[in-house]
Amino acid sequence: MGPFAALDRFPVQATCEPPGIVERLAEGDPVFLDDGKLSGTVERRVPEGAVVRVRHTGPKGFKLKPEKGLNVPMTELGLLALTDEDRHSLDFVAQHADLIGYSFVQSAADVRLLQEELAKRRPADWSRIGLIAKIETPVAVRNLPEIIVQAARHQPFGVMIARGDLAVEIGFERLAEMQEEILWLCEAAHVPVIWATQVLESLVKKGIPTRGDMTDAAKSARAECVMLNKGPYVADAVAMLDRLLVRMTQNQSKKTPKLRRLNSW
């Protein structure tokens, strides 16, 4: 069973993958679903799994849907960096892909393991395959210098600031601080950055941006790449982002202001 047990008093239940996560949950551990839209704490372990008491959700409640993210930031999951399924996928990736996105990479050892697997499948030129490390946990942030050294000295390398999971894992209050530190470190190491997760989300989904969306998108000019989610207005969002970034690059180069002549009047 997943983190919600099927008990008479707690009729809501869910399963999760991999199921071994539940076995590592302890009383008091925080649990977040769907980028923090629902949060709670483990109340107790039961034979069916674990009982989670909901502590916070939106004013209209929360509808649990399949294939949504589960975050347990205080729990040591002990997960393998590469699963058997991942290795099977690498058989195809090594022969056909130009770039690999590595989710939930946490250490230089994780990077080394992937590189060894690529070398087995493409010994002559595996280092030509680019690698993007998704930084989405506090452990990955702490280990980022070692991750960069291990990856960038062997193959083309970039970092994705995966802000959805990162916000839940480190807390929303520290997200802005952490993305600034990642930008600083990657600029110093000459590593390109992808600014990801919900950029211009209101425009993409509803056709009208919010003021916060526009400010966030302007800040993304300091990265080399910006990722947009899919939605009915994504073409409009790409066009607006293009115009915005052209203007912002006149004011900012990475983390350094250009102090150009003001054009406000």
User: What percentage of the chain reaches a pLDDT higher than 90?
Assistant: 54
Nearest to 225 by CA among 250, 191, 175: 191
Residue 3's pLDDT is what?
45
CATH number of residue 96's parent domain: 3.20.20.60
DSSP character for 260?
A: P
Taken in order 109, 166, 141, 54, is the CA torsion positive or negative?
A: negative
Q: Of the candidates 79, 99, 122, which is a domain's last residue? A: 79
Which structural domain, as residue segments, surrounds residue 212? 198-265
Extract the tokens encoding 219: 């800040």
- Give 7's pLDDT tier (boundaries 50, 70, 90): very low
User: Are residues 66 and 91 both part of a single domain?
Assistant: no
Residue 9's pLDDT is what?
56
**Per-residue pLDDT at 4 exceeds 50:** no
Q: Regarding predicted confidence, which is higher, 216 or 1?
A: 216
User: Are residues 30 and 96 both part of a single domain?
Assistant: no
User: Are residues 58 and 121 both part of a single domain?
Assistant: no
- Give 36's pLDDT tier (boundaries 50, 70, 90): confident
User: Are residues 105 and 60 both part of a single domain?
Assistant: no
User: Are residues 86 and 180 both part of a single domain?
Assistant: yes
**Per-residue pLDDT at 118 exceeds 70:** yes
- Give 76's pLDDT tier (boundaries 50, 70, 90): confident
**Per-residue pLDDT at 17 exceeds 70:** yes
CB–CB of 44/50 below 8 Å? yes
User: Are residues 94 and 124 both part of a single domain?
Assistant: yes
Give the DSSP letter string of 167-233.
HHHH-HHHHHHHHHHHHHHHHHTT--EEEESSTTHHHHHHS---HHHHHHHHHGGGSSEE-----TT
User: Are residues 228 and 145 both part of a single domain?
Assistant: no
Look at the chain and report how many structural domains it folds into.
3
Nearest to 214 by CA among 237, 180, 183, 246: 237
- Distance, in Å, from the CA atom of 39 to the CA atom of 171, rounded to the nearest integer, reads 12
pTM of the model: 0.81
**Per-residue pLDDT at 263 exceeds 80:** no
User: Are residues 22 and 92 both part of a single domain?
Assistant: no
Element (H, E) at 50: strand 49-56
pLDDT mean over 33-49: 86
CATH number of residue 31's parent domain: 2.40.33.10
C-alpha separations of 119 from 60, 127, 224, 260 in Å: 51, 8, 28, 47
193-233 pLDDT tens trace: 999 988 999 999 999 999 999 999 999 999 999 999 999 99
User: Are residues 74 and 91 both part of a single domain?
Assistant: no
- Give 68's pLDDT tier (boundaries 50, 70, 90): confident
- Distance, in Å, from the CA atom of 19 to the CA atom of 23, rounded to the nearest integer, reads 8
80-104 pLDDT tens trace: 788 888 999 999 999 999 999 998 8
- Distance, in Å, from the CA atom of 150 to the CA atom of 76, rounded to the nearest integer, reads 23
- Give 10's pLDDT tier (boundaries 50, 70, 90): low
Mean pLDDT across the chain, nearest whole number? 88
User: Are residues 74 and 88 both part of a single domain?
Assistant: no
pLDDT mean over 150-169: 93
User: Are residues 16 and 62 both part of a single domain?
Assistant: yes
